[in-house]
Amino acid sequence: MQGRDLAAVAALDAAALVVNHGFVPLISAARVDRWFARRYWAGRLHRPDWPTFVADGGGQLLGALSVDLNRARNRHMPVRRWIYLHSLFVLPAARRRGVARALIRHAMRWAQRRGVGGAELGMAATNRSARSLYESFGFRVQEVTMARRLPQLR
């Protein structure tokens, strides 16, 4: 992602948030705080270890995927560094043409060239297309996140 992609990436992420809210309504946002989103994406531009990869289809951004490169804080971790994949979204009109697959493959190669030892991601349990996509890359469920709403005390 470069500066010129900022608005398009923020728009894709906004669409992704709405989709994610459909899958995880309990604790995820239904709408985007534009000011926060712009600050977040602009901040990432200055972090070479947090790249956002974009798929460009003749001047239009078709999809994006972000990566956070993390370092182990405990010397007993089996890998010294790992990536966290997030904010994957492909425009509905561009789906089922291998865009997400290409973005993930690119992100994994980017990490492997840097000697990264593992990859992790989180996804909604009911998102079947994402699950089949990630499983085709060898990802397997390792943890389960549980959530509930807490009633307010008065």
Ligand X SMILES: CC(C)(COP(=O)(O)OP(=O)(O)OC[C@H]1O[C@@H](n2cnc3c(N)ncnc32)[C@H](O)[C@@H]1OP(=O)(O)O)[C@@H](O)C(=O)NCCC(=O)NCCS
What is the binding site for ligand X (CB under 6 A)? 16, 19, 88-90, 95-101, 123, 127-130, 132-133, 136
Six-digit token string for 123: 């996804």
Q: What is the nearest approach in angstroms of ligand X to the Cβ of residue 4?
A: 22
Cβ atoms 89, 19 nearer than 8 A: yes
Q: Output 93 or 146, the one with its CB closest to ligand X.
A: 93
Six-digit token string for 63: 């999809």
Alpha-carbon dihedral sign for residues 44, 48, 50, 55: positive
Q: What is the nearest approach in angstroms of ligand X to the Cβ of residue 25?
A: 15
Q: Output 60 or 136, the one with its CB closest to ligand X.
A: 136
> Rounded to a whole number, what is the distance in angstroms from the first to the last CA of the chain?
47
Q: What is the nearest approach in angstroms of ligand X to the Cβ of residue 95?
A: 3
Q: What is the nearest approach in angstroms of ligand X to the Cβ of residue 124?
A: 7
Please give the Cα distance from 74 to 41 (Å, whole number).
29
Q: Output 88 or 116, the one with its CB closest to ligand X.
A: 88
Q: Output 112 or 136, the one with its CB closest to ligand X.
A: 136
Please give the Cα distance from 133 to 65 (Å, whole number).
13
